Chain A
Amino acid sequence: MTNNNLKYPPRVLVTKIGLDGHDRGSRIVAAYLRDAGMEVIYTPPWQEINAVVNLALQEDIDVIGLSSLATDHLIAPDLMIALRDAGLDHIKVIVGGIVPANEHGMLEDAGISKIFEPGALREDIVESVATLAANARSSRRDFEEASL
């Protein structure tokens, strides 16, 4: 795992919002991150957006990984809005799965940090999540200091 000098390992929520239940990809990515020493919270599919926000808050999550194989990424922007409304802007969100090229821009505009397509390499996923977790921690420190 890349060394980002975190006091404790990245905390990652691997989940699926929307309607699809296929979980081969999300289980493999969860195992990649777990084997890299991260703390992974894994949920069953079909999570409501509010449930994801609550879980992220309760579990002190740094990065949320959304798996989308059947167009569920179309509602990822709604999750970004809900996170912002809950004051969880520091959490970084990545999407993995089938995201057609012409829909990348829409997700990036909504604030999704990274999109991983089929064929993404284990080391790229792990490194990217580690870096994003470190970013989440530091932006969160700023947020906490600012609110003091």
Chain B
Amino acid sequence: MNIKHKQMHFSDLEQSHDDWQQKYSAQIGNDRTIENRSGIEIKPLYSPLDWSNESYAEDMGFPGKEPFTRGIYPTMHRGRTWTQRQLIGLGRPQDYNKRVLSLLKAGASAISLIPCNSGFRGIDCDEVPVPLLGTCGTVINTTDHMTNSLKDVSYENISTALNDPSPFTLFAFLLAAAKRRGVSIDKISGTSNQSDYISHCVANHMFFRLSLSGGRRVLMDHIEYCAKHVPKWNPVSVVGQHMQQAGATPAEAMAFTLSTAIQYAEDCIERGMDPDDFLPRFTFFFDISISFFEEIAKFRAGRKIWARITRDRFGAKNPRSWRFKFHGQTSGADLTMQQPLNNIARVGVQAMAGIFGGLQSLHTDSYDEAITTPSEETAKIAIATQNILREEAHLCDVIDPLGGSYYVESLTNQMEEEIIAIIDRIDNAGGMYAAVEAGIVQRDIGLSAMGFQDKIESGEQSLVGVNCYQGDDSWASPPPYRPDTDKMQKFVDDFINFKSNRDQANVDTALDNLARAANSSDQNTFEKVVAAAEAEVTHGEIIACLRRELGTGVPVIIA
């Protein structure tokens, strides 16, 4: 069949568009104004009047090349699909180990480790009420605990994401455990997730252990150490996820994250590091909300902006420095405690947004995650969701499949403008560190959280099962995960015994060395953290020492 395409002239196009517009307005009556979460007005229809192929080279280009809109690698998911990295953390090290081995069998290709909330707070298990231990993460306080949690897991062949910011004790335990097993640490690969101390200060306050300035110091030491000794490790993951979970709009979350990355890059440069030495190891971590097209546009825009910042602002010459590598997590803030099985559908849509957004690594939430630490069964459904999207739905067959959509291209450009405007505002406030000290970012996030809550309250934003379609909500809630308190008590008793049987002189020396390094600008604190881990110093002891020397983190609360 021979179809002839008739070339439409621009003036014809405008005329046709006006004709449609009139019919549309006549039929729809009182059209409502629709804005996405970032406050961008969404039109009922997009056409070449909003985005035309003439801008192809400038706006899109080809994957693996500037402006990187279509992806950071030439092959993207067709070559290598995203890493399936499920967050895992529960109970004692042996409980974690059992879960990890089962998920690796189910298809997970990398692992992550979430510590117990006591670990987040920087304290050991013997300082915490036993019922709180292990409910939301694994208790890892020593190199022995790390060894047990990774029993039968290959250190070299699996990339490990540790939720572990300053002073990076879990990473230090991992390095110490690797050395004990005879594995050379330059073979260890993975990421220090949550290494972004700024995000913890402004948003969820979970890993807010040291003062802002202390966090800054130890992060720089960590980056330097990794560049020298653990080259396959990504020492920095800049986190937009916390801010978006705390209420930031997608545009704000992207902008604040890029501003944070700018801050870290500037700090590294001030330390005398070459941008092409550290930028290739910067990674990002984002929330993927259910605002489908907005998220896709957010990621496409973020890739473009980061490439320009690294090249033009920091003068990076290595193309690897320009690549915006990110992990996405489907947003827990969109999940509901009511009618929990509906969350499987939500996660599917969120995951698709992340995949079309071109992510490198993905965590899909389990449907019970609004209520509890996932069970093994619900975690497997979350992994299956990824397998279904990849292999049944064939979402990896085409690179950037929504590229060229008038709507997606136009929205990508609008999100880009919005994100750049926010980055400029943070620059004018003296950079991210200064803006956070002044509470500017916290206030913006709080206002956006309130604005979104108002929309849920007014019904402008539907939440199925919560503010509409409530039904009788007779759905069974999955039982929450609670570790056995007797076993946990025994674990704490063992830990106390372990401490009293250590070589105390070694412990004291390691802590002295750490305190001295913290007070001397020409020593590397993280090197001393690793030495402390090898000397059987505990997580809580390392952090208590650094809190004494560098100050404790206290959030600036802007209600």
Query: At the interface, is chain B mostly helix, strand, loop or mixed?
Result: loop
Contact call B205/A119, Cβ cutoff below 8 A:
no
Give the residues from 105 to 148 in chain A that come closer than 8 angstroms, CB to CB, to chain B: 117-119, 121-122
Point out the residue from A22, A72, A100 that lies within 8 Å of B205, measured CB to CB.
A22
Instruction: State how many residues of chain A have any CB contact under 8 Å with chain B.
Output: 33
Point out the residue from A40, A101, A122 that lies within 8 Å of B477, measured CB to CB.
A101
Residue B120 at the chain A interface, CB threshold 8 Å:
yes
- Whether A70 contacts B554 in the complex (CB less than 8 A), given A75-B131, A119-B336, A121-B457, comes out as no
- Whether A28 contacts B450 in the complex (CB less than 8 A), given A44-B205, A71-B132, A100-B479, comes out as yes
Residue A21 at the chain B interface, CB threshold 8 Å:
yes
Task: State in angstroms the CA–CA spacing of A78 and B466 once bound together.
Answer: 31
Residue B63 at the chain A interface, CB threshold 8 Å:
no
Give the residues from 434 to 459 in chain B that come closer than 8 angstroms, CB to CB, to chain A: 446, 449-450, 453, 457
* Identity of the chain A residue whose Cβ is nearest the Cβ of B446 in the assembled complex: A27
Q: Which residues of A contact B466 (CB under 8 A)?
A: 118-119
Contact call A100/B129, Cβ cutoff below 8 A:
no
Residue A23 at the chain B interface, CB threshold 8 Å:
yes
* Identity of the chain A residue whose Cβ is nearest the Cβ of B131 in the assembled complex: A74
Task: State in angstroms the CA–CA spacing of A146 and B208 once bound together.
Answer: 46
Point out the residue from A22, A31, A103 that lies within 8 Å of B450, measured CB to CB.
A31
Contact call A22/B246, Cβ cutoff below 8 A:
yes
Residue B388 at the chain A interface, CB threshold 8 Å:
no
Contact call A21/B337, Cβ cutoff below 8 A:
no
- Whether A19 contacts B559 in the complex (CB less than 8 A), given A70-B135, A71-B135, A100-B479, comes out as no
- Whether A100 contacts B132 in the complex (CB less than 8 A), given A27-B449, A27-B559, A28-B453, comes out as no
Contact call B131/A44, Cβ cutoff below 8 A:
no
- Whether A19 contacts B132 in the complex (CB less than 8 A), given A24-B247, A44-B555, A119-B463, comes out as yes
Instruction: State how many residues of chain B have any CB contact under 8 Å with chain A.
Output: 41
Residue B136 at the chain A interface, CB threshold 8 Å:
yes
Give the residues from 293 to 344 in chain B that come closer than 8 angstroms, CB to CB, to chain A: 333, 336-338
Residue A30 at the chain B interface, CB threshold 8 Å:
yes
Contact call B204/A22, Cβ cutoff below 8 A:
yes
- Whether A19 contacts B121 in the complex (CB less than 8 A), given A31-B559, A42-B557, A75-B131, comes out as yes
Contact call B132/A74, Cβ cutoff below 8 A:
yes
Task: State in angstroms the CA–CA spacing of A18 and B116 once bound together.
Answer: 12
Task: State in angstroms the CA–CA spacing of A75 and B371 once bound together.
Answer: 17
Task: State in angstroms the CA–CA spacing of A117 and B336 once bound together.
Answer: 10
Report B425 CB to chain A, min CB distance, Å: 22
- Whether A75 contacts B205 in the complex (CB less than 8 A), given A27-B449, A31-B450, A121-B457, comes out as no
Residue B496 at the chain A interface, CB threshold 8 Å:
no
Contact call B559/A117, Cβ cutoff below 8 A:
no
* Identity of the chain A residue whose Cβ is nearest the Cβ of B372 in the assembled complex: A100
Contact call A19/B120, Cβ cutoff below 8 A:
yes
Contact call B555/A20, Cβ cutoff below 8 A:
no
Report A27 CB to chain B, min CB distance, Å: 6
* Identity of the chain B residue whose Cβ is nearest the Cβ of A121 in the assembled complex: B457
Q: Which residues of B contact A118 (CB under 8 A)?
A: 336-338, 370, 466
Residue B386 at the chain A interface, CB threshold 8 Å:
no
Task: State in angstroms the CA–CA spacing of A84 and B449 once bound together.
Answer: 36
Task: State in angstroms the CA–CA spacing of A31 and B559 once bound together.
Answer: 7
Interface string of A62-101 (1 = CB under 8 A from B): 0000000011101100100000000000000000001011
Q: Which residues of A contact B538 (CB under 8 A)?
A: none
Contact call A100/B135, Cβ cutoff below 8 A:
no
Contact call B136/A98, Cβ cutoff below 8 A:
no
Residue A3 at the chain B interface, CB threshold 8 Å:
no
Q: Which residues of A contact B246 (CB under 8 A)?
A: 22-24
Point out the residue from A18, A23, A30, A34 that lies within 8 Å of B132, measured CB to CB.
A18
Report A51 CB to chain B, min CB distance, Å: 14
Task: State in angstroms the CA–CA spacing of A30 and B558 once bound together.
Answer: 11
Report A73 CB to chain B, min CB distance, Å: 10
Residue picked from A40, A71, A102, A103, most chain B C-beta under 10 Å: A71
Contact call B245/A75, Cβ cutoff below 8 A:
no
Report B89 CB to chain A, min CB distance, Å: 11
Contact call B117/A100, Cβ cutoff below 8 A:
no
* Identity of the chain A residue whose Cβ is nearest the Cβ of B137 in the assembled complex: A70
Q: Which residues of B contact A27 (CB under 8 A)?
A: 446, 449, 559
Residue A9 at the chain B interface, CB threshold 8 Å:
no
Residue B16 at the chain A interface, CB threshold 8 Å:
no
Report A118 CB to chain B, min CB distance, Å: 5
Task: State in angstroms the CA–CA spacing of A93 and B21 once bound together.
Answer: 57
Task: State in angstroms the CA–CA spacing of A103 and B467 once bound together.
Answer: 24
Contact call A75/B117, Cβ cutoff below 8 A:
no
- Whether A100 contacts B204 in the complex (CB less than 8 A), given A22-B246, A24-B245, A71-B135, comes out as no
Contact call A70/B555, Cβ cutoff below 8 A:
no
Contact call B206/A75, Cβ cutoff below 8 A:
no
Task: State in angstroms the CA–CA spacing of A119 and B136 once bound together.
Answer: 22
- Whether A46 contacts B338 in the complex (CB less than 8 A), given A27-B446, A31-B450, comes out as no
Contact call B559/A20, Cβ cutoff below 8 A:
no
* Identity of the chain B residue whose Cβ is nearest the Cβ of A34 in the assembled complex: B559
Contact call B129/A46, Cβ cutoff below 8 A:
no
Q: Which residues of B contact A102 (CB under 8 A)?
A: 477, 479-480
CB-defined A-B contacts under 8 Å, sample of 14: A18-B117, A18-B132, A19-B121, A21-B555, A22-B206, A22-B245, A24-B333, A24-B449, A44-B205, A45-B205, A102-B479, A102-B480, A118-B336, A119-B463
A-B interface, 7 closest residue pairs, ranked by CB to CB distance from nearest: A21-B205, A19-B117, A100-B480, A119-B466, A71-B135, A74-B131, A21-B206
> Known contacts A45-B205, A71-B117; can you find 19 more A-B pairs with CB under 8 A?
A19-B128, A21-B206, A21-B208, A27-B559, A31-B559, A42-B557, A44-B205, A44-B554, A98-B337, A98-B372, A100-B371, A100-B372, A100-B479, A101-B477, A102-B477, A102-B480, A118-B337, A119-B337, A119-B338
